[in-house]
Amino acid sequence: MQFVYGNFSFDVNSVSIAGFTSSFVRSPSGRTHLLRKSMAIKGRIVRGSMSQIESQMAAIQTALSLNGQTAVMLDNNNSPTPFVLDSPSSIGGVMVTQGATNDDVSGSKMVTFLEYTAAFEAEYLWAGLQDVLEFSETLSFSDNNGLPLQVERIPVQGPPIIQNITEQSFYHCTQSGQMRQAGPNPQPPAPAFPGLFRGYDGSRKVTQLPTQAIRGTPISYGCAWNYEFINIEPFGSATPNYR
């Protein structure tokens, strides 16, 4: 067995897997968004002198000072085992979460051998590009129940006056929300009342939200929307969208 990180090959049979975990990262909508893998290793440097041990430890520390390399345990036939963190297919590359770290140095340690540990982590996109990771929408209705609009007047003398200024009032509706998906170019839902947009510029607004990324690699794209409707009669039945 031999552990390899990037172009650096550790001594044969000098490294063992101390732990290998896989866990899912879910989005606010409950969908599986990312697969996060972690690997911990235990290593031992065996050399004939302290200077040789120090030299090898320095080489290992230098190799593990770089992120973005593939970490893999090879079997006795030099073939990859399941214990691998592939960097090119990950999001932003494999990260070294713990460089080569040794515990106490006593007795024969640093004279004939030295033990150390290290850890790595990588994240992989699990969701499909069109999978909705986050979605919320609200339909808000406001009106005067179609009754006349009124104004309140305060005369200089006498009691206040409530005066009708229209025979009937409008019904209003606002459809607003936002969403995120794993792939680019998310599209807002269709308007609930497409034939009843308010007659002014800006009654339909769509905003692209900031792209979320891990180490420069996008993981979700979002958009927000706001539609304004008006009608002379109560709106028909409609419920907010959900995904």
Q: Residue 42's domain is classified under what CATH number?
A: 3.30.2000
DSSP 197: B
Is position 91 within any domain? yes
Based on the fold, state whether residues 39 and 102 are members of the same structural domain: yes
Based on the fold, state whether residues 66 and 96 are members of the same structural domain: yes
Give the model confidence (pLDDT) of 103-141 as tens digits: 777 776 777 899 999 999 999 999 999 999 999 999 999
pLDDT for residue 183: 94
Based on the fold, state whether residues 112 and 213 are members of the same structural domain: no
pLDDT for residue 2: 95
What stretches of 1-118 show up as alpha helix (H) in DSSP? 50-63
pLDDT for residue 20: 97
Is position 217 within any domain? yes
pLDDT for residue 236: 86
pLDDT at 243 over 80: no
| Three-state secondary structure call for residue 57 | helix
Based on the fold, state whether residues 100 and 215 are members of the same structural domain: no
Q: What is the number of structural domains in the chain?
A: 2
Contact 9, 63 (CB under 8 A): no
pLDDT for residue 126: 94
Beta partners for residue 2, in sequence order? 74
pLDDT at 211 over 90: yes
Global pTM reads 0.79
Based on the fold, state whether residues 9 and 92 are members of the same structural domain: yes
Give the model confidence (pLDDT) of 44-93 as tens digits: 999 888 899 999 999 999 999 999 999 999 999 999 999 999 999 999 99
Is position 74 within any domain? yes
Closest CA to 161 of 149, 150, 172, 171: 150
- What is the C-alpha to C-alpha distance for residues 5 and 60, in angstroms, rounded to an integer? 10
Is position 242 within any domain? no
Q: Which of 80, 108, 125 is the last residue of a domain?
A: 125
Range of the domain at 61: 2-125
Based on the fold, state whether residues 21 and 98 are members of the same structural domain: yes
Q: Which of 125, 145, 162 is the last residue of a domain?
A: 125
